[in-house]
Structure 1
Amino acid sequence: MELNLKKPICFFDLETTGINVAKDRIVEIAILKVYPNGNKESHTWRVNPERPIPLESSAIHGITDEMVANEPTFKELAPKVYALIKDSDLGGFNSNRFDIPLLAEELLRAEVDFDMKKALSIDVQTIFHKMEKRTLEAAYKFYCDKDLVDAHSAEADTNATYEVLKAQLDRYPELENDMAALADFSSHIDHVDFAGFISYNEDGREIFSFGKYKGKLVDEILENDPGYFGWVLNADFPLYTKKVLTRIRLEKLNTKLS
């Protein structure tokens, strides 16, 4: 079944120096952009992370320091990456928890004002786990009856993810071929930021989901305890979390001024 798209969707996969969203770096990125008319374009880049790649990470994806020594940095690639994804929804395998948050950090670090407000995110892994509880290799075999060659290469994983989602729509008639519905089905807890430090309450207002102010309204805490905002900005929180807090604070100030 082909995807019912109202706008382009970019399936993407990252290979990285590690799994810390706030600190690790991209060493390879593959993007498969699918348009509503069925056209596709694919791009894969190796990336110089400007730091040593741990041996345990190289053992997984096979990319070593020597292989990326002469490749562009992510800051150099960021304009091309952003130009591809800025008008699109995003799809991936475990992308809501890892790839999208880490990509957001890299884009913000490169001074690209990345925001997911207008984009949907469809996590094929979540759909798979809700339906079958398996890994990507098993998903590819189960849904597509193919062996995943070159697993843990960004390009192979990206194309497999795209094929699995189409096969999932064929297999499960209860899944709606609509990106908003798939994004909702593949989401976890509804967080404002990617890392899950800020969530929504039942009234749709932003609340802290950690620390001493867990469950408290963000705008009220930022007004009553301005030092807490400063502490978060100076602490080791993801850049996107800091961006969200700054937005909420500015919206509160603008409301008061008006």
Structure 2
Amino acid sequence: MIWHRRPLCGLDLETSGTNPERDCIVTAAVVRYGGGQPTAARTWVAVPEFEIPADATAVHGWTTEEATAQGQPAPLVVAEVIDALVAAVDGGHPVVVMNAPFDLTLIDRAARRFGVVPLADRVTPYVLDPRVLDKQVDRYRKGHRRLEDLCRHYCVSLDGPAHDSKVDAVAACDVTWRIANRHRWMQRKTLAELHAAQEKWAYQQNASFRDYLARTPGRELEALDVRLDWPMVPAAKAAVLEEHRGAGPLAAMHAAGEIDSAEYHYCTRERSTRAHAVTADGGRKCWGCGMETAGNQ
């Protein structure tokens, strides 16, 4: 049976912010969708690890007080969400995640903070990301591609308010199913083939956007936050991401006086803005590729 006729497993997290390396889960949902079966869902509210900022509350509606009063301990929530995903993967279901590198990276880092075995250390899921799929099949369509935008484009009705974990998880599955139903060649691919293809497509899509930002005056530093990894940023790359945000080895070397400064410059080899160590004579060494530029040039 082709994959889009079998159940899909949807995951959605609502969080305290937009940094998957540091922010925490507020609510989570894992749903079973399609395959001729009724939609089923498990939902969680987590006691936040820290104060939920007002701008995050404005998105999903949860305050620190409400989440604390209604939530379960965050380590338990993380463990149960991962258990639910493992069960789905063991059952042969792909995991549908809108903007997968955010949710999957965030829950990976949360698991590592709490001493929970991360999802990636237990199973290797086939992931379907409607954001990547939509960009691939309709590259030049103008406008935003947030989940609510994709729902409008593919005529998916939200069964409740946007930014509710269960509503968004179901909607992501519905959008993914409709993309595959409209583009039948996707149905003929195995989940392994489609996962591998998305790795390539996501890299190309994000690299193109990163390079656009790096070339655009006034937006160069935004390129630092564009992630090329899909479906998750490996934990080993966290140090490089921290470096980009001024919290890594170059910043520490600067503070210790080992280098004169740590600055951001456009790297011609990597075609992106990267952190550089700068010496007193103006020489630079790219933290990304290691290329050195002599001083006074």
TM-score under structure 1 normalisation? 0.67
Q: Where does structure 1 differ by over 6 angstroms across 4 or more consecutive aligned residues? A: none
Letter of the structure 2 residue corresponding to residue 125 of structure 1 = R
Match of 1:125 among 105, 123, 131: 131
Work out the CA distance in 2 between the residues paired with 1:145 and 1:160.
7
Q: Which runs of 5 or more structure 2 residues have no equivalent in the other structure?
A: 204-227, 242-248, 253-297
- Return closer, same or farther for 1:185/1:144 CA change in 2, 3 Å cut-off: farther
* Aligned partners of 1:47 and 1:73 also within 8 Å: yes
For residues 198-224 of structure 1, what are the alpha-carbon distances to aligned partners after superposition, in whole Å with 9 as ceiling and x for unaligned?
A: 69xxxxxxxx9969xxxxxxxxxxxxx
> 2: CA distance between counterparts of 1:192 and 1:93?
12
> Does 1:183 pair with 2:195?
yes
2:119 and 2:156 map into 1 onto residues whose CA distance is 37
Residue 13 of structure 1 corresponds to: 12
2:184 aligns with one of 156, 159, 173? 173
Matches within 5 A, 1:39-58: 40-58=39-57
Q: What's the % identity of the aligned pairs?
A: 22
Q: 1:161 aligns with which of 166, 169, 172?
A: 172
Q: Which has the higher contact order (CA 8 A, sep 6+)?
A: 1
CA contact (8 A) 1:28 1:46 kept: yes
Secondary structure of the structure 1 residue equivalent to 2:51: coil
Q: SS where residue 116 of structure 2 aligns? A: coil
State the TM-score, normalizing by the size of structure 2.
0.59
Change (3 A) 1:171 1:82: same
Counterpart residue type for residue 185 of structure 1: A
1:93 counterpart (98, 114, 138)? 98
Match of 1:106 in 2: 110
Superposition deviation, residue 54 in structure 1: 0.3
Q: SS of the residue aligned with 2:44?
A: strand
C-alpha deviation, 1:36, in angstroms? 6.7
Alignment-derived partner of residue 32 in structure 2: 33
Distance, in Å, in 2 between the alignment partners of 1:198 and 1:111 is 17
Q: What are the superposed Cα offsets for residues 142-174 of structure 1, whole Å, 9 maximum, x if unpaired?
A: 223536741111111111111111111111122
Q: How does 1:131-150 map to 2 (within 5 A)?
A: 131-132=137-138, 133=141, 134-146=145-157, 149-150=160-161
SS at match of 1:28: strand
Kept in 2: contact 1:28–1:154 (CA 8 A):
yes
Verify the 8 A CA contact 1:2 1:166 in the aligned structure 2: no
The number of equivalent residue pairs is 202
- Write the deviation string for residues 176-201 of structure 1: whole angstroms up to 9, x where unpaired: 353223322333238599326769xx
Deviation at 1:41, TM superposition (A): 2.9
- Corresponding residue of 2:4: 3
1:44-77 residue CA offsets vs partner (Å, 9 max, x unmatched): 1111113100001111111111211121122122
- Alpha-carbon distance in 1 for matches of 2:115, 2:62: 26
Distance 1:47 1:196 in 2: 24
Mapped contact 1:137–1:148 kept (Cα < 8 A): no
SS, match of residue 186 in structure 2: coil
The secondary structure found in structure 2 opposite 1:56 is helix
Q: Which has the larger radius of gyration?
A: 2
Aligned-pair Cα RMSD in Å: 3.3
Letter in 1 for 2:192: A
- Identify the residue that residue 205 of structure 1 maps to in structure 2: none
What is the DSSP-based 3-state SS (H/G/I as helix, E as strand, rest coil) of the residue aligned with 2:28? strand
SS at match of 2:66: helix
CA contact (8 A) 1:140 1:148 kept: no
Contact persistence 2:13–2:26 (CA under 8 A)? yes
2:104–2:231 CA contact under 8 A, matched in 1: no
Map Cα deviations across residues 117-164 of structure 1 (whole Å, 9 max, x no partner).
522222111111222353211211222353674111111111111111
Between 48-57 and 83-92, the greater mean CA deviation after superposition? 83-92
Contact residue 8 and residue 173 of structure 2 kept, 8 A: no
CA–CA separation in structure 1 for the residues paired with 2:108 and 2:235 = 15
